[in-house]
Structure 1
Amino acid sequence: MRPRTLLAFALGLVLLVTGCGDPGKNPGKAAAQPSASAAPASTPTPSPSPKPRPSRTTPPPKPKLRPVPKKLPAGLHRRSGSPGVALTFDDGPDPRYTPQILAQLRAARVTATFCVVGRQARRYPQLVAQIVREGHQLCNHSWHHDVDLGRRPLAEIRADLERTNRAIRAAAPGAPITWFRQPGGRWTAEELTVARQLGLRPLHWSVDPQDWDHPPAKTIIKRVESATHHGSVVLMHDAGGDRTQTMAACRHLIPDLKRRYGIVRLR
């Protein structure tokens, strides 16, 4: 072997033994490696997945109301059924005014018809019981005085009247409920059908002094006296707002109508 060749061989052997030729021992690569004491890279926190929204079902469309009748249907009771005058009081009972009307009727020794609202009957059952106990008639006047009741589906009309009957009977068990009066007088043929199916006779009126609009007592008296005849059915209110003027008017009207026509029960 030549001297140069021998020298090169010896140098390669030295490099191999010391590891300087191992790529894994390369100081540059080693420096690039992270040290054990280095803080680990922060891992991003995954954002919470959105909660699923509850499924919303679209409510069924409300049934359209039937149009308001242009005229009153046939078959409504607008007469007392005798030469005497029938007094009717709507929208009660009311603890402020119903006892006052009952006291005036008791003093005159006459009876009237009370068209009670179911919600009021449930709230003041003792007044319904007193009405019956003192010999007056009961009339179903719907659950909460829905003036559009007659324009609603037949099932809704029936449910309303039946609910009102239950409230009345809970307050006065066994008391007959003979009549039904539509709130506001906006009668429909469908309403008449349901009322008759429930054994209720449709009660309207022939004299309306519009005391629901709170006119003075003198105006109420004048309107009643000018429109009343033998057999009239007079509409007034013992609830549904301030009825102070109605109470004052009745103190004159009840004895006056009794003297002129007689006050009778509906037939």
Structure 2
Amino acid sequence: MRPLLPRTVLVAIALSLGFAVTSCGPPPGSEAGAAPTPKATAPQPTPEHQQSSPKGPERRPLAPALNGKAIGPGGSLQGTGGTTVALTFDDGPDPVQTPALLDALLQNHVRATFCLVGKQVKANPALVRRIVAEGHTVCNHSWEHRTDLGDLPDREMLSDLSATNDAIHEAEPKARIRYFRAPYGKFNKRMVDNAALLGMNSIFWDVDDLSYKDEDRGTGEVMVAFMSKRIRTLIRPGTIVLSHDFGRPQTPVTYRNMLPWLKTQFSLEPLPVTDLPDGR
């Protein structure tokens, strides 16, 4: 059964049909080489979802601006805007790697941000509940990790993002989804604006640990050493670190080794949502 869009989003979708559709090309620094999740068709809006309202779209409160000065592609946030460091993990939840990563984070008393793919959420709802229960922030990473998400009409783009939010809330109603990350980091302004209509800030990154480069370096000790050296070299206060847990066994190992050192050097915090009003 197709997930239905929330009433607020339906209004936004209807009005978006009258917007001019523009597209910025793929930005530099995208997640080239990251493995997309298996293909599926995101739920599409039905005709009754396209009715207009004279009041116009109602914007929900956005997540904190993080005092963000570093702006990434399309107007996304490229840093935390302070001294804290945010570890972010994309493409999950993965039934094997995500629990291993959560165990490492729990052991070290560190909370992070998980950018979740809708299809993976539907397949692993218990992991979403664990992510939320252990104090991590959840982030919308689209329904199926499409490379062309930014090229879709506004209606289809909003449907994709809304279906992902609905899947997360079906798995864990308490989840507060205040962030969005584009597949491969391919942000454009329309995508950032549409995420804002759903109450989400768009987040990029300024350090990429290249965990998806396992085809070049392998998944064993060599790759772990490569990722560890890259993190030590590039990380600094205010960094958003990009990593991947889906299908990446090197990621839990790397962070299990690195977390004790990272804790001595930086304040590690999930992207904040606790000072925001609830509601969807």
- The answer on whether the counterparts of 2:23 and 2:190 sit within 8 Å (CA) in structure 1 is no
Partner of residue 190, structure 1: 190
Partner of residue 235, structure 1: 242
1:223 equivalent in alignment to 2:230: yes
Q: Partner of 1:90: helix, strand, or coil? A: strand
Give the one of 25, 29, 32 matched to 1:68: 25
Give the AA of the match of 1:147: T
Partner of residue 137, structure 1: 137
Q: Deviations over 1:98-149 (max 9, x none)?
A: 1111111111111000000000001100000000000100000000011220
The answer to which structure, 1 or 2, has the higher relative contact order (CA under 8 A, 6+ apart) is 2
1:159 equivalent in alignment to 2:159: yes
Give the one of 252, 256, 265 matched to 1:260: 265
User: Where do 4+ consecutive residues of structure 1 move more than 4 Å?
Assistant: 64-67, 69-72
* C-alpha distance in structure 2 between counterparts of 1:73 and 1:235, whole Å: 15
The root-mean-square deviation of aligned C-alpha atoms, in Å, is 1.7
1:1-267 matched pairs, under 5 angstroms: 66=23, 68-69=25-26, 73-214=73-214, 215=217, 216-239=223-246, 241=247, 243-267=248-272
Pairwise CA distance, 1:85: 1.1
- The answer on whether the counterparts of 2:208 and 2:243 sit within 8 Å (CA) in structure 1 is yes
Q: Deviations over 1:137-166 (max 9, x none)?
A: 000000001122011111111000000000
* C-alpha distance in structure 1 between counterparts of 2:259 and 2:135, whole Å: 16
* C-alpha distance in structure 2 between counterparts of 1:79 and 1:149, whole Å: 23
Instruction: Provide structure 1 residue ranges, at least 5 long, that are not aligned to the other structure.
Output: 1-63
Q: Deviations over 1:200-227 (max 9, x none)?
A: 1101111002111214100001111111
Give the AA of the match of 2:261: D
Instruction: Provide structure 2 residue ranges, at least 5 long, that are not aligned to the other structure.
Output: 1-20, 29-71, 218-222, 273-280
Q: Partner of 2:92: helix, strand, or coil? A: coil
User: Percent identity, aligned pairs only?
Assistant: 41
Q: TM-score, normalised by structure 2?
A: 0.69
Equivalenced residue count is 202
- The answer on whether the counterparts of 1:80 and 1:265 sit within 8 Å (CA) in structure 2 is no
Give the AA of the match of 1:68: G
Q: TM-score, normalised by structure 1?
A: 0.72
Of residues 175-184 and 69-78 in structure 1, the stretch that sits farther from structure 2 once superposed is 69-78
* C-alpha distance in structure 1 between counterparts of 2:209 and 2:237, whole Å: 17
- The answer on whether the counterparts of 1:66 and 1:152 sit within 8 Å (CA) in structure 2 is no
Q: Partner of 2:94: helix, strand, or coil? A: coil
Pairwise CA distance, 1:73: 3.5
Partner of residue 62, structure 2: none
* C-alpha distance in structure 1 between counterparts of 2:151 and 2:22, whole Å: 5
* C-alpha distance in structure 2 between counterparts of 1:219 and 1:180, whole Å: 28
